[in-house]
Amino acid sequence: MLRRTIPLLALLAAAPALAAELPLKPGSWQITSTVRSMEMPGAPAGMMAKMIGKTTTMRQCITPAQAAGGPRQILKASEGKCRYDSFSVRGNKLDAVMVCTSGQGNMTSRMTGTVTATSYTMDQTMTAPSMKMTSAGTGKWLGPCK
């Protein structure tokens, strides 16, 4: 679940920036994320070593409605569990802080990067009560959804 969540958060963070400043291109996106570092006290031996440096690639279909909806559409999908504490786009530079609440406490995700209508690069730091993780990600538009 965590492997799928990290790259998806990066795309979701980029999407409102694109909707606000640039036309986000609906369609199939390839999302790649690499875990750079991880701190998780009490984690099983070797677990973090297996995750650090691991690259995950997935595809995500962004509908025209999602592309046009910007942050409201994306946060709506979280059913009220996520919000942006800050969100700034200057030119094609993104700087955002998103906080999501769960039964285990808050997860804060700080994202900085560069976005266009068809691509992004993103650095992300996620902190939660029992972990801290940094990752780097990219996204690129591939074409229509299939």
The answer to whether residue 129 scores a pLDDT higher than 60 is yes
The answer to whether residue 10 scores a pLDDT higher than 70 is no
> In which domain, by residue range, is 41 found?
2-143
**Residues 50-73: what's their mean pLDDT?**
83
- pTM for this one? 0.76
Q: In total, how many domains does the chain have?
A: 1
CATH number at residue 113: 2.40.128
Predicted pLDDT at 46: 84
**Residues 58-78: what's their mean pLDDT?**
75
Measure the CA–CA gap between 122 and 93, rounded to whole angstroms: 10
pLDDT band at 2 (very low <50, low <70, confident <90, very high): very low
Tokens of 55: 């690259």
